[in-house]
Structure 1
Amino acid sequence: MTVTGARRVRAFSPLATVLAIGGLYVGQSIIGGVTFSALPSVLRDRGLPLDQIGLTYLAVLPWVLKFLWAPAIERYRLPSNGPSRSRSIVLAGGMISAICFILAAVIGPTSFVPLMAVFIVVAFAASTVDIACDGHAVESLSERYHGWGNAAQVGGAYLGSAIGSGLFLVLVARVDWTQAMIAMAVLLVLLGLPFVLSPAITPTDARTHRPSLRDALIRPEMRRGLALAALYAVSQKWGLAMLGPFLIDSGLDLDALGIINGAGGMILGFGCAVLSGALVRHWGARAILVLALILQAVALAGLGAAAWIGAVHHVLLLGLALASSSAIMALGFVALYAQFMKLSDPRQAGIDFTLLQCMDAFVSMIGGIGAGWIAQHFGYSACFGLAAILVTLAASPVAILSKGAKGNEASSQPRRPLPQQF
């Protein structure tokens, strides 16, 4: 490794690494799909008001605050000598999440307060696992394989989201809430096994760098990245928080919505993630970020117009919903996560990547709660229309912030060579 003072690690197959972390990303996205997509739809189907449904976004809070315990997790994960402890963190967090899903199965969807308490605990466990998973991905994959790591992140996210927001809703509609939650708990355990059973990363030199928030925040490129993450969350996520309830109120039932979210979301999301990887390689991340914003503004304007007109054919509604929540989101987030990996120092990647994701989660939480309030008091058309305006306004600042983005000195240097198995 050419970086002064950095460590060298034992090389493992990049394919095995991508598959292992991909399973974790799928599992985490199942949790996100159940919490932020399926749960609002189920609650609306049970008759809960929109402003209360918007409070489900409080479960984002651990994802917002995980930077507070990321340094402690990263120091535990990377001891001065010996193998990394990523697997033990993943094992503990995965078991907590699975047990909480079983508790949610017992509580049921109508006991809102205890149910949200359980989902917040799940979010805490999953966000902690995410720190270890992201750090492992950045330190174990050289920059030439970042595209595969981003594909595992985004592709895994859409596969997991398709299961959590699609298959889960189908199971709720056709079986019941309890068995659907238990099925998701079993899936979480199975998806985490490849990572838990994989070899630990072992350094050949002592780890001399002490991971810290200060080290991340003093770097100008990281502060620039935080601003980019905030703007992109505003532009891509605020308008979609009430998409599930809107489709329910437009006449779709949970079964149909689950099938569309599952099959359609998985195909479009995964396909556009692969497409975005190729486009980023040829055009650069900046162009794809701006393109995704333009397309999202058009889709959100279409949803706003459909909400204003009313009685729009379900095929058109579903087309707009899938375009905005699956295709366009995947297109943009592959490029955004490529920027995140480039900005992250491999000596403390869990902290750096976490900071960028926390900014995304913080802005998403505010937007989710605010979108519920706006939709309840001013209607869906105002919610989607305002989001389309925000996306349009964000395009120029995003283009400026992503122009010529470079990683920090440590991560921009060549890292250890990896075997040519991939």
Structure 2
Amino acid sequence: MAALIFLGFASGLPFYLTSTTLQAWMTKANVDLTTIGVFSLVGLPYSLKFLWAPLLDRYVPPFLGRRRGWLIIAQLLLLVAIAAMSLHDPAVGLRALAFNALLIAFLSATQDVAGDAYRTDVLHHREMGAGAAIWVLGYRIALLLTGSLAFVLADRMPWPTVYLILSSLMLVGVIASVMAPEPSLEDAPPRTLAEAVVLPFNEFFTRSGLLRGLLVLLFIVLYKYSDSLVIVMGTPFLLQAGYTQTEIGVIRGGAGLIATIIGVLAGGALLAKIGINRSLWIVAVLQAVSNLGYYLLALTDQSRTWLLAVIVIENFITGLAAAALLAFLMLMCNKRVSATQFALLSSLVAVSRDLLTAPSGGLAAATGWPLFFLISIAAGLPALLMLPFIAPWGGDTPIGAAAHSGETASDAT
């Protein structure tokens, strides 16, 4: 369990280095905005990681086992790839820079696949909430370092030096991977690559049943939809309501970030106290109700106090939801093929975040902000109505959940 915060840290470390931080470096190097915008495509591997996830289920490295072996391979290569960014100059070598950034994103996505599978396999089902919270805490700390500390360092030294320093932090993950226990596997991993591709689907629908399995997939898409609508349109609303960019940035980046971290930890404690099923119910209700804060902001005059309260509550509940949904996804994955199953299930979360929210701007323009936020509250009802068929209030684990004993290789011997 203790290793998860360090592995979560290693998972979060590369993320901003190919997006926010890289964009800042390119801006300082006077790269045009169109090119900077196109560079966002280097993050595509994060959305496509399920395509090569079966490789991590099928093949076992000759050292440290199936999960830790892939982790340390990705981490060592990331250390080198991030350090190699120090050799580039955005002003004169954009193609080489783009290739290096794309390589970092690919290796980072691969580390995420291995890390998600490790976390899923090593935890007992009663530890899922706490494990998810610890992992996300480490991830958020890494984002804070690469999103804040990197900018502070860049005012005092060249960007290439900053990337060289940040690359050394990948050693945190390398050490954690070496020291962490390897999850045990009672059944053999997939025998062929074809089996590694087909088995995740067959096993999931055999375990859950076809209709319930499809319901679970729809539930994953819709569970955070209410929250996602507000996340996407929250900033445009606040700016149109007259709040300054400084007010929004300071409150979200300060109190909001702290509230998210506290929410994640509280989510882990909640899951440990009352179980995953009841936690999913409570968080589903809170996600919808929290949008009432934005509805009230839309009806009242500007108030920094109200703005602070609304953002803190929103981010706290976002943290709760992150812990609950992460634990649910892990419970729905079989250890034989957890890398592929988790990559596929987590990609459905992106459908809600990126695709279903696409019409939200047009909806807000057509309805006005107060009615939009009421609609966002109603958007939480479908997932809530599905819960009796997926995670009954009185149940210990969701229906169709895979077995998770939390046994490691050292326990087996």
TM-score (norm 2): 0.72
1-side partners of 2:234 and 2:19: how far apart? 11
Deviation of 1:395 (Å): 0.4
Q: Distance in 1 between matches of 2:378 and 2:29?
A: 37
CA distance in 2, matches of 1:21, 1:176: 32
Counterpart selection for 1:272 from 253, 260, 263: 263
Asked if the contact 1:64/1:362 (under 8 Å) is kept, the reply is no
2:13 aligned with 1:30? yes
Q: Check the 8 A contact 1:32/1:161 in 2, yes or no.
A: yes
Identify if the C-alpha distance between structure 1 residues 328 and 168 changes in structure 2 by more than 3 Å, giving closer, same or farther.
Answer: farther
- 1:295 corresponds in structure 2 to 290
Using the TM superposition, give the Cα deviation of residue 353 of structure 1 relative to its aligned residue in structure 2, in angstroms: 1.3
2:351 corresponds to 1:339: no
Contact 1:343 1:408 in 2 (8 A): no
Paired position in structure 2 for 1:348? 337
Q: Quick one: distance in 2 between partners of 1:59 and 1:315?
A: 39
Residue matched to 2:113: 131
Deviations 1:294-337 (A, max 9, x none): 325635985x899xx9xx7888767765654x423212111111
Task: Please show how residues 15-414 of structure 1 align to structure 2 within 5 Å.
Answer: 18-35=1-18, 58-77=41-60, 84-107=65-88, 115=97, 117-173=99-155, 175-203=157-185, 206=188, 211=196, 212-216=199-203, 218=205, 219=208, 220=210, 221-232=212-223, 234-237=225-228, 240=231, 250=244, 252=246, 261=253, 264=255, 267-280=258-271, 281-282=273-274, 283-296=278-291, 298-299=293-294, 302=297, 324=314, 326-366=315-355, 388=373, 391-406=376-391, 407=398, 409=400, 411-412=402-403
% same residue:
20
- Is the 2:251–2:308 Cα contact (8 Å) retained in structure 1? no
Question: Does structure 2 retain, via aligned residues, the 8 Å contact 1:60–1:361?
Answer: no
Distance in 2, matches of 1:122 and 1:364, equals 23
Contact 1:74 1:350 in 2 (8 A): yes
User: d(CA) in 2 for partners of 1:300 and 1:77?
Assistant: 52
Deviation at 1:344, TM superposition (A): 1.3
**Cα RMSD for the two superposed structures:** 4.8
User: Which residue is equivalent to 1:7?
Assistant: none
Aligned to 1:4: none
SS at match of 2:71: helix
Letter of the structure 1 residue corresponding to residue 379 of structure 2? A
In 1, Cα distance between the equivalents of 2:8 and 2:68?
14
Q: Aligned equivalents of 1:180 and 1:243: distance in 2?
A: 32
User: Contact 2:81–2:100 at 8 Å: present in 1 too?
Assistant: yes
Output the CA distance in 1 between the equivalents of 2:70 and 2:125. 25
Give deviations 1:49-72, integer Å, cap 9, x for gaps: 988766565344222221121112
Instruction: State the structure with bigger RCO (CA 8 A, min sep 6), 1 or 2.
Output: 1
Q: 1:415 to 1:104 in 2, by over 3 A?
A: closer
Q: Secondary structure at the match of 2:59?
A: helix
Q: Which moved more, 1:154-163 or 1:113-122?
A: 113-122
SS at match of 2:380: helix
| Alpha carbons 1:155, 1:269 under 8 Å: kept | no
Q: What is the CA–CA distance in structure 2 between the aligned matches of 1:293 and 1:285, rounded to whole Å?
A: 13
Bigger Cα Rg: 2
Other-structure match for 1:14: none
In 2: Cα distance, 1:76 partner to 1:135 partner:
14
- C-alpha distance in 2 between matches for 1:288 and 1:160: 26
Q: Structure 2: where are the runs of 5+ without partners? A: 392-397
Distance, in Å, in 1 between the alignment partners of 2:321 and 2:123 is 22
Q: 1:349 to 1:384 in 2, by over 3 A?
A: farther
- TM-score computed with the length of structure 1 as normaliser: 0.71
The answer to whether the Cα contact below 8 Å between 1:166 and 1:258 also exists between their aligned partners in 2 is no
